[in-house]
Amino acid sequence: MQKKYIEEVSTGKSKLSRSVNTLCSMVVRNVRNQYRNSVLGILWTVLNPLLNMIVIAFVFSRILDVNKGINLFYPVYLLSGNTVFGLLRTATTTSLPCIVNNYDLLSKTRIPHEIFPLSNVLSAVVNFFFSFIALCIVMLISINKPGVGFHATLLMTFLPFLPALILFCLGISFILSTVYIRFRDISHIYSVVLTLWMYLTPLFYSLDMMDKHETAKTVLKINPMYHYVTYFRDLVMGQVPSLLSHAIIYAWGIGICAIGYMIFHFSKKKFLLHI
Amino acid sequence: MSDEINVQTIPITDAIAKPQELPLVEVNDVTMRFRMPTEKIDNLKEFFIKFVKRKIQYEDLVVLKNISFHINRGESVGILGRNGAGKSTLLKLISGIIEPTSGSIIVRGSIVPLLKLGAGFDSNATGKENIFLNGAMLGFSKKEMQEKYDSIVEFSELGKFIHMPLKNYSSGMLARLGFSIAVDVSPDLLIIDEILAVGDAPFQKKCADKIASLQEKGTTLLLVSHNAAQVKRLCKTALWIKDGEIVMYDDAIKVSDAYAADCQTQKS
């Protein structure tokens, strides 16, 4: 058997610049489509996390009274966790059906397949920035409350923190979008898993509540999202996370992304057949 | 599964104008085989039941068998064949969308594959937004698309509709927009898959003129059709595929006539 071989000595654009252009316009399209035909438009990207936070903060701090052991103003505690988990949620749920939904493009144009999960993850990152603005607004309002303040560490969100989280989300997205091609059941399974995952992440409670349950604490610490959320909260509270925290979030990010990419890469030749 | 199908290479007589120049497209001994499960399994339960019972059956579908041919620069080739003969698969292979099971394909130049008009259109976005989105997919930056924008809108004859969301477009308008974006580039190789029947008669004429002017500029055209008359009109040479094998590769008129005659006998 001869070597499989396709060569295009392109006289035009490089493959990379084409991909980057496509990626950019797809991200813009995704963000625009979210709020098309709504009166407030792009304002919703900030308003939405804000209103959600108010509802959850009301339920958990006024009705359930769970803010024990949290030395950060509760709405800020809540919103900072939700901002991080929201990135994972949006990125993965939108990426899940992306290969199947873009069958037309996959079978008729030469866009690299990786663009679809990547564009959804990046759109989620854009939403993350808006949520981040919402968080800043809440912090500005509650500047006198315990633990709230604008620290220089907040800038570390963009550099050491976000790339690790993006890699992690991308890896999960690669896996989910590949699996979804063969087994549509995964969308239902994943929505349940995501709910469980959310409750296993200390978003509206604190790990200190579990002092009596050492095993539960250990189990929770296996959850990679726990590390991302606590890392981000450290930044919000002005603490520089330990070297170990850095290592953990990057290990999870690079590890999951590598596994996800391998799965995606080795099955992409068969995508068109199985959709 | 026998791979030993006799290779039918038909010598290209008048196509080799410049023998020293390497051909634009080289297709060498390409075989495309799809492995399809006989039943579609798309949920876990079914998969496990079938897997345990060892009942997942596959069927090998050979779409192209040991195809070899060359296309020279500036030469326009029509691919003829009935439905399911493997024409579209061949185009997808040359476009680089799928990879062959065996054999090699070399393309020396830029390709614009027009396999479907408006692939990737977003029905919620306006015509204008879609022009930029589609342009990016073809490999153009925003700045380049801004330069092309006016001529695209003019060619599509959409006028003020360009600012309306695509979901309000008629199918003819969609096709016109798709075609206008796609032809506003001058690639080395333009691949067209039975999409010339778009719009009304005047627009069709405009499309044909546009393709002719591209051909004059040196673009090589690769056209798929089951319409022999169209191939005769637009192409110099033609390739006839039947059941995944090359029947004839010769002068367009000769091949078209032979193909038309074959279709007649099939009918009666």
Q: Give the nearest partner residue to A2 out of B102, B125, B142, using CB atoms.
A: B102
**Same domain, residue pair B93 and B42:** yes
Task: Work out the minimum CA distance from B97 to partner chain A, whole angstroms.
Answer: 5
| Distance in angstroms (rounded) separating the CA atoms of residues A82 and B12 | 67
How confident is the model over A257-272, as pLDDT tens digits? 999 999 999 988 778 7
Residue written as token pair 């008669």: B201
**What is the pLDDT at residue A242?**
93
Q: Are B29 and B102 in contact (CB under 8 A)?
A: yes
How confident is the model over A172-192, as pLDDT tens digits? 999 999 999 988 889 999 999
Q: Give the nearest partner residue to B122 out of A10, A29, A273, using CB atoms.
A: A29
Q: Do A109 and B100 touch (CB under 8 A)?
A: no
In a domain, B58, yes or no: yes
| Distance in angstroms (rounded) separating the CA atoms of residues A204 and A216 | 16
Q: Give the nearest partner residue to B42 out of A107, A184, A269, using CB atoms.
A: A184
Domain CATH code at residue B200: 3.40.50.300
**Same domain, residue pair B95 and B209:** yes
Q: Do B139 and A269 touch (CB under 8 A)?
A: no
Task: Work out the minimum CA distance from B119 to partner chain A, whole angstroms.
Answer: 5
Q: What is the extent of the structural domain holding B35?
A: 12-110+187-268
**What is the pLDDT at residue B37?**
66
Angstrom CA distances, B54 to B15, B34, B49, B64, B107, stand at: 52, 20, 8, 29, 42
Output the CA angle A168-A172-A176, nearest 5 degrees: 170
Residue count of chain B = 268
* Other beta carbons within 10 Å of A126: 15
Average pLDDT over residues A141-149: 85
**What is the pLDDT at residue A169?**
97
* Other beta carbons within 10 Å of A110: 20
**Same domain, residue pair B199 and B266:** yes
Q: Do A12 and B133 touch (CB under 8 A)?
A: no
Domain CATH code at residue B151: 1.10.8
* Chain B residues within 8 A of A102 when measuring between CB atoms: 120
* Chain A residues within 8 A of B96 when measuring between CB atoms: 6, 8, 110
Using the Cβ of A265 and the Cβ atoms of chain B, whether some distance falls under 8 Å is answered with: no
**Same domain, residue pair B226 and B264:** yes
In a domain, B4, yes or no: no
* Chain A residues within 8 A of B107 when measuring between CB atoms: 6-9
In a domain, B1, yes or no: no
**What is the pLDDT at residue B247?**
87
In a domain, B27, yes or no: yes
Residue type, B104: S
Domain boundary among B186, B219, B239: B186
ipTM exceeds 0.95 = no
Across chain A, mean pLDDT equals: 86
User: Helix count (H) and strand count (E) of chain B?
Assistant: 8, 9
* Chain B residues within 8 A of A1 when measuring between CB atoms: 102
Using the Cβ of A25 and the Cβ atoms of chain B, whether some distance falls under 8 Å is answered with: yes
Task: Work out the minimum CA distance from B194 to partner chain A, whole angstroms.
Answer: 13
Q: Give the nearest partner residue to B119 out of A13, A105, A272, using CB atoms.
A: A105
**Same domain, residue pair B62 and B18:** yes
- Share of residues in chain A with pLDDT > 70 (%): 93
| Distance in angstroms (rounded) separating the CA atoms of residues A73 and A66 | 12
**What is the pLDDT at residue A6?**
40
* Chain A residues within 8 A of B90 when measuring between CB atoms: none
| Distance in angstroms (rounded) separating the CA atoms of residues A270 and A181 | 10
| Distance in angstroms (rounded) separating the CA atoms of residues B111 and B93 | 12
Domain boundary among B163, B186, B209: B186
Average pLDDT over residues A156-160: 90
Instruction: State the count of interchain CB pairs (< 8 A) between A and B.
Output: 123
Residue in chain A lying closest to B142 (CA): A21
Q: Provide the domain count of chain B.
A: 2
Q: Give the nearest partner residue to A2 out of B98, B103, B125, using CB atoms.
A: B103
Angstrom CA distances, A129 to A31, A133, A135, stand at: 12, 6, 10
Q: Give the nearest partner residue to A108 out of B36, B119, B136, using CB atoms.
A: B119
Residue in chain B lying closest to A27 (CA): B133
* Residue spans of chain B under pLDDT 50: 1-19
**Same domain, residue pair B106 and B192:** yes
Write out the two tokens for A176.
């989910």
pLDDT above 90 for A171: yes
pLDDT above 90 for A84: yes
**Same domain, residue pair B20 and B102:** yes
How confident is the model over A2-19, as pLDDT tens digits? 333 344 444 345 677 778
Q: Do A107 and B42 touch (CB under 8 A)?
A: no
In a domain, B5, yes or no: no
**Same domain, residue pair B38 and B170:** no
In a domain, B7, yes or no: no
In a domain, B231, yes or no: yes
CA dihedral over B83, B86, B88, B89, signed as positive or negative: positive
| Distance in angstroms (rounded) separating the CA atoms of residues A176 and A194 | 12
**What is the pLDDT at residue B120?**
76
Q: Do A273 and B36 touch (CB under 8 A)?
A: yes
* Chain B residues within 8 A of A32 when measuring between CB atoms: 125, 129
pLDDT above 50 for A68: yes
DSSP bridge pairs for B107: A8, B25
| Sheet (strand B77-80) strand order | B111-114, B189-193, B220-225, B77-80, B237-242, B245-251
**Same domain, residue pair B104 and B16:** yes
Conformation bin of residue A148: beta by default, left when phi > 0, alpha when psi is -120 to 50: beta
| Distance in angstroms (rounded) separating the CA atoms of residues B208 and B231 | 12
Domain boundary among B186, B212, B236: B186
Q: Do B107 and A6 touch (CB under 8 A)?
A: yes
Q: Are A75 and A240 in contact (CB under 8 A)?
A: no
**Same domain, residue pair B66 and B174:** no
**Same domain, residue pair B28 and B80:** yes
| Distance in angstroms (rounded) separating the CA atoms of residues B65 and B62 | 7
In a domain, B254, yes or no: yes
How confident is the model over A213-251, as pLDDT tens digits? 788 888 888 999 999 999 999 999 989 999 999 999 999
**Same domain, residue pair B48 and B171:** no
pTM, 2 dp: 0.82
* Chain B residues within 8 A of A272 when measuring between CB atoms: 97-98
Average pLDDT over residues A115-121: 94
